[in-house]
């Protein structure tokens, strides 16, 4: 188990810009969505259950209404009579909450004993040929649910309205209990879902804390990269992070190696100069100039490598091949006016190389071809398997195959009669390798001289 207390996990750098807590954002979004869904669900469920309870209540009243209509008839004096008494005893108890009444225009209303001295509103301005159900507040201390229907009894010249009314107290109590239970249940459900979302968020984001701990271990020198197993969603980020760390380590190692090589390269000329100065040699001036030139070549070489290494870190580095080649051609043509330089190839190629480094590589190769050739240089550019290939050919004497490997060594010049530092080919090789390319020497079949094959990663 990782001892996180031993790691130097410092608080976030105050200079790092933040946009709030990711955990809080996820929990708030989940909570808001849960509340919206539960509110909508509770409202819909309340409508369904309330409607079902009310319909059941109304069905019971409608059943009593139908039974009363079926058992009614007109008496000898034109009054409404019932062939059987109502089965529910509440019709006989005053103020029981269950009432019936039979009314007609111009007729005295017949009412149950439970109404006592009260009467239900007749409302004769409309006809209820079908069953009519509604709420009524005509009694100040009692809300009623009324079911009524207009019926014309045999032998009666008028249409009678039969009404069954019942207090809503029982119905409202059932609805209240239902809503209270549903509110508590949905509140508990919502709380549980939010807690689950919070736990899910913390558990889901926990691997990010593991990544932070691993980075702290690397900063403390206890690890070189993240080796702990991570979830599938986090693994790509960890792989990229490890690749970045490895890339930085390679750059740091290259920088250390370059510094060591430069120090070693400068050590010998400096020793020669110091020995000559100590001995007060007669050729001190010539020695200083000669060794200074050697040191300058070394410095130029390592500066070129350092620039290429630094610019390689940009994943977006790219350069258009043809403008760079035309620029090099114009510059070399001004230096060697007797040389003819021909170019051929697609005009839209790009390479994953900084323009300055591409100019330096092409400049060295084309200048060497013009310097050591017989007057003709042919440059061909083409795309091949993810690379852009440059073929620089000349009509010179060429280089024997056994000496081609030596030409890439620093300071090696096969023709000391021409001016130069002997670093051009070494710089081309080092810069090309830094960008993942290659350079090789061959014999030109068309011109008979040297053919330099430079391959660089294509960007299109």
Hey, where are the domains in the chain? 1-9+19-226, 235-312, 319-457
Q: pLDDT at position 356, please?
A: 84
**CATH number of the 319-457 domain:** 3.30.565.10
| CA 400 to chain CA centroid, nearest Å | 58
pLDDT at 134 (0 to 100): 92
* CA–CA gap between residue 202 and residue 57 (Å, rounded): 49
Q: Tokens 């229907």 appear where?
A: 149
Place of tokens 């100039």: 289
What is the per-residue pLDDT across 240-279, written as a single tens digit (0 to 9) for each? 888 888 878 877 777 776 676 667 667 777 887 888 788 8
User: Which residue in the block uniquely carries the two structure tokens 């890339």?
Assistant: 247
Predicted pLDDT of residue 149: 92
Rounded to an integer, what distance in angstroms lies between the CA atom of residue 279 and that of residue 291? 16
Q: What is the pLDDT of residue 418?
A: 44
The DSSP symbol for 115 reads: G
Judged by phi (left if over 0) then psi (alpha if -120 to 50, else beta), residue 146 lies in beta
Report d(CA 277, CA 317) in Å as an integer. Answer: 47
- pLDDT value at residue 43: 94
User: Looking at residue 420, what is its pLDDT?
Assistant: 41
Query: By C-alpha distance, which of 426, 438, 433, 432 is closest to 265?
Result: 426
Q: What was the pLDDT predicted at 129? A: 81
Confidence at residue 235, expressed as pLDDT on a 0 to 100 scale: 84
- C-alpha distances out from residue 396 to 22, 85, 416, Å: 67, 133, 16
Q: Distance between CA atoms of 460 and 388, rounded to whole angstroms?
A: 10
The three-point CA angle 133-137-142 to 5° equals 105
376-384/340-344 β-pairing: parallel
Q: Which residues lie below 8 Å from residue 285, measured CB to CB, with a gap of 6+?
A: none
**C-alpha 17, offset from chain centre:** 18
Alpha-helical (H) ranges within 132-234 are: 169-219
The pLDDT of residue 2 is 43
Helices 235-278 and 284-312: crossing angle in degrees, nearest 10, is: 180
Return the closest-CA partner of residue 355 out of 266, 246, 459.
459
Distance CA 278, CA 138 (A): 127
Q: How many angstroms separate the CA atoms of 201 and 24, rounded?
A: 9
Give the C-alpha separation, 122 to 104, whole Å: 8
Neighbours of 9 (CB within 10 A): 15
- Reference 358, options 325, 396, 336, 406; nearest CA is 325
pLDDT at 299: 74
> For residues 101 and 114, what is the distance between their CA atoms, to the nearest angstrom?
10
Residues of the chain with pLDDT under 50: 1-9, 313-314, 411-422
Per-position DSSP letters for 326-355, written without gaps between them: HHHHHHHHHH-TT-EEEEES-SS-EESS-H
Q: How far is CA 249 from the centre of its chain?
A: 29
The CA distance from 376 to 392, in Å, is 11
Rg (CA), the chain: 50
| Residue 123 backbone dihedrals phi, psi, to 5 degrees | 60, 55
Q: Which two tokens stand for residue 455?
A: 């391959």
pLDDT of residue 196: 92
Q: Of the candidates 407, 435, 348, which has an alpha carbon nearest to the alpha carbon of residue 383?
A: 348
Contact between 397 and 408 under an 8 Å Cβ cutoff? The reply is: no
pLDDT of amino acid 156? 80
| Those residues with Cβ within 8 angstroms of residue 54's Cβ, 6 or more apart along the chain or in another chain | 171, 175
User: From CA 96, how far away is CA 109, in angstroms rounded?
Assistant: 19
Q: Give the per-residue pLDDT at 454.
A: 94
């Amino acid at each position: 188990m990782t001892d996180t207390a031993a790691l130097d996990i410092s608080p976030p750098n105050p200079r790092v810009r933040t946009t709030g807590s990711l955990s809080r954002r996820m929990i708030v979004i989940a909570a808001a969505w849960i509340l919206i869904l539960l509110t909508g669900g509770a409202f819909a469920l309340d409508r369904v259950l309330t409607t079902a309870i009310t319909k059941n209540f109304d069905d019971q009243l409608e059943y009593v209404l139908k039974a009363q209509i079926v058992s009614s008839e007109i008496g000898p004096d034109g009054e409404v009579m019932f062939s059987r008494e109502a089965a529910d005893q509440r019709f006989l108890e005053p103020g029981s909450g269950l009432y019936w009444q039979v009314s007609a225009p111009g007729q005295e209303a017949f009412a149950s004993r439970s109404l006592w001295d009260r009467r239900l509103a007749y409302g004769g301005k409309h006809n209820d040929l079908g069953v009519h159900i509604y709420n009524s507040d005509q009694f100040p201390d009692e809300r009623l649910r009324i079911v009524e229907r207009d019926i014309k009894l045999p032998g009666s010249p008028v249409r009678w309205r039969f009404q069954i009314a019942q207090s809503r107290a029982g119905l409202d109590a059932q609805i209240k209990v239902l809503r209270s239970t549903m509110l508590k249940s949905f509140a508990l459900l919502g709380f549980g879902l939010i807690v689950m979302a919070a736990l899910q968020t913390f558990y889901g984001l926990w691997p990010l804390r593991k990544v932070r701990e691993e980075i702290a271990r690397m900063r403390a020198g206890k690890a070189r990269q993240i080796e702990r197993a991570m979830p599938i969603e986090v693994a790509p980020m960890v792989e990229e992070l490890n690749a970045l760390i490895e890339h930085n380590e390679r750059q740091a190692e290259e920088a250390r190696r370059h510094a060591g090589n430069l120090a070693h390269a400068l050590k010998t000329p400096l020793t020669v100069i110091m020995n000559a100065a100590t001995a007060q040699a007669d050729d001190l001036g010539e020695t200083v100039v000669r060794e200074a030139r050697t040191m300058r070549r070394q410095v130029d070489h390592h500066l070129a490598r350092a620039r290429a290494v630094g610019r390689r870190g940009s994943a977006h580095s790219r350069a258009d091949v043809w403008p760079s080649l035309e620029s090099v051609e114009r510059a070399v043509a001004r230096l060697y006016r007797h040389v003819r330089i021909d170019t051929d190839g697609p005009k839209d190629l790009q390479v994953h190389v900084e323009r300055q480094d591409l100019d330096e590589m092409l400049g060295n190769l084309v200048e060497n071809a013009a310097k050591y050739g017989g007057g003709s240089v042919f440059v061909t550019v083409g795309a091949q398997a993810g690379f852009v290939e440059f073929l620089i050919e000349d009509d010179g004497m060429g280089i024997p195959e056994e000496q081609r490997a030596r030409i890439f060594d620093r300071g090696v010049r096969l023709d000391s009669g021409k001016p130069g530092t002997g670093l051009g080919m070494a710089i081309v090789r080092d810069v090309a390798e830094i960008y993942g390319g290659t350079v090789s020497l061959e014999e030109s079949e068309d011109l008979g001289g040297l053919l330099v094959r430079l391959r660089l990663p294509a960007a299109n």
